[in-house]
Amino acid sequence: MSEKAGNPNSYPPRGLGRIDAARYLGLGLSLFDTLVKDGRLPPPKQVNKRVIWDRVALDAAFESLPDQAQDNRSTFQKLLDSRPVA
């Protein structure tokens, strides 16, 4: 058992570097950078010369991203809807 797992006072870091922040959200670095640049993810905080992302702000931004549209039609209905109108 690792020391962290056995320590009841351990907790995840609040600030994450760029690579860890992207990994935390399950994103590659280029997509992470794009989402930060266009404002869908928060900008980093500056701590001396380090730039770090607030994990809580990342969570909030991630929650506000749209869900993937779901198509709940049956396979038959999709086939009917795709036929040209006569």
We report the CATH number of the domain holding residue 57 as: 1.10.10
Round to whole Å and give the CA distance between 19 and 29.
7
Residue 60 structural domain: 12-65
Q: Is residue 28 part of a domain?
A: yes
Q: Is residue 59 part of a domain?
A: yes
Angle between helices 18-25 and 55-64 (to 10 degrees): 40
Q: Is residue 37 part of a domain?
A: yes
The tens digit of pLDDT for each residue in 28-37 reads 999 999 999 9
Q: Please state the domain count of the chain.
A: 1
Q: Is residue 73 part of a domain?
A: no
pLDDT of residue 1: 46
| pTM for this prediction | 0.70
pLDDT of residue 5: 61
Q: Is residue 44 part of a domain?
A: yes
Q: Is residue 41 part of a domain?
A: yes
Per-residue pLDDT averaged across 21-45, rounded? 97
Q: Is residue 45 part of a domain?
A: yes
For the chain, where are the E strands, in sequence order?
A: 15-16, 45-47, 50-54
